[in-house]
A and B are shown apart, each in its own frame.
Chain A
């Protein structure tokens, strides 16, 4: 039973990621990338890593995707953007991601309503992750914070407006 949900979710993930790299409109790729992030989170949950599943949705589908969407919206400020908005509102574009999401919703309902709520023997609880994170991996946390600080400064530097003499 666990294998069935895993194979179904894997198929959804592969289809969504192939669609991500094969679309020509970046916004369509974004929709498929959201679906692939959610299905990846379902796979993490099936594997017994609920904390990583929550992080995947929060960080990938919540933060990184928003960054991408902001960048795309800043890039498309030309006169063709009106036509593009109109083409985005036609039905039929979002049917693919919607169908994949419905499949994932079915998998989720199957996991929740199953007679044996899926808590595999190898499940690693968030408490264990936290204890290990702030125990032996404390130096890695510090390095991660320094990396984020470097990313912040770099993004601020790169996002400045062009100088006049350029």
Chain B
């Protein structure tokens, strides 16, 4: 149990570093996927520790969230690429609103 939570924490940190370090918006979305994966691992570990099905149900909700988030995020990325011809978020800073 402790090792699994430690692994989930490590994976969450990797995803967080990816969000903060990378400047390509596609990689930021990938890092968010890693973060969601690590959260699901924590849910599964908790469900397995108590022998209940609730952890896996929360994981399925997380999968639904990830699917919706990825479809919206990729649509936004395609739209950004069409308008500005770049995926660098430093050049997208002028977006106000």
Taking beta carbons and an 8 Å cutoff, which residues of A are in contact with B? 3, 6-7, 10, 13-14, 17-18, 20-21, 26, 29, 33, 36-37, 40, 43-44, 47-49, 51-52, 55-56, 59-60, 63-64, 67-68, 70-72, 74-75, 120-124, 128-129, 131-133, 137, 140, 144, 147-148, 150-152, 154-155, 157-159, 162, 166
CB distance from A2 to the nearest CB of B (A): 11
Residues of B with C-beta under 8 A to A148: 64, 67-68
B36 vs chain A, min Cβ distance (A) = 9
A82 smallest CB distance to B (angstroms): 19
CB-based contact A158/B11 at 8 Å: no
Instruction: Choose from A7, A40, A68, A121 the contact partner of B74 (Cβ within 8 Å).
Output: A68
Q: Which 10 A-B pairs have the closest CB atoms?
A: A151-B68, A158-B75, A21-B18, A155-B71, A132-B53, A144-B64, A47-B48, A71-B74, A128-B53, A155-B75
Q: Which residue from A33, A49, A63 sits with its C-beta under 8 Å from B67?
A: A63
Q: Contact at B30–A21, with CB atoms within 8 Å?
A: yes
A152 to B68, CA, bound (A): 7
Which B residues, 52 to 93, have Cβ-Cβ distances below 8 Å to chain A? 52-57, 59-61, 63-72, 74-79, 81-83, 87
Report how far A70 CA is from B74 CA in the complex, Å.
9
Distance, CA A44 to CA B94, complexed state (A): 43
| CA–CA, A95 and B54, complex, Å | 39
Quick one: closest A residue to B4, CB to CB?
A47
The CA of A128 and the CA of B65, in the complex, are separated in Å by 22
Residues of A within 8 A of B67 (CB): 59, 63-64, 148, 151
Do B61 and A124 touch across chains, with their CB atoms under 8 A apart?
A: no
Q: Tell me the nearest residue of chain B to A21, going by C-beta.
A: B18
Q: Tell me which residues across on chain A come within 8 A of B75, comparing CB atoms.
A: 154-155, 157-159
Task: Say yes or no: A133 contacts B65, CB within 8 Å.
Answer: no
Known: A26-B26, A67-B71, A72-B26. A124 touches B45 (CB 8 A): no
Q: List 28 A-B contacts (CB under 8 A).
A: A6-B4, A13-B7, A17-B15, A17-B34, A21-B14, A21-B18, A21-B31, A26-B24, A36-B34, A40-B41, A49-B48, A52-B56, A55-B60, A55-B63, A56-B63, A63-B67, A67-B74, A71-B26, A75-B26, A122-B49, A129-B57, A132-B54, A133-B57, A140-B61, A144-B61, A144-B64, A151-B69, A158-B78
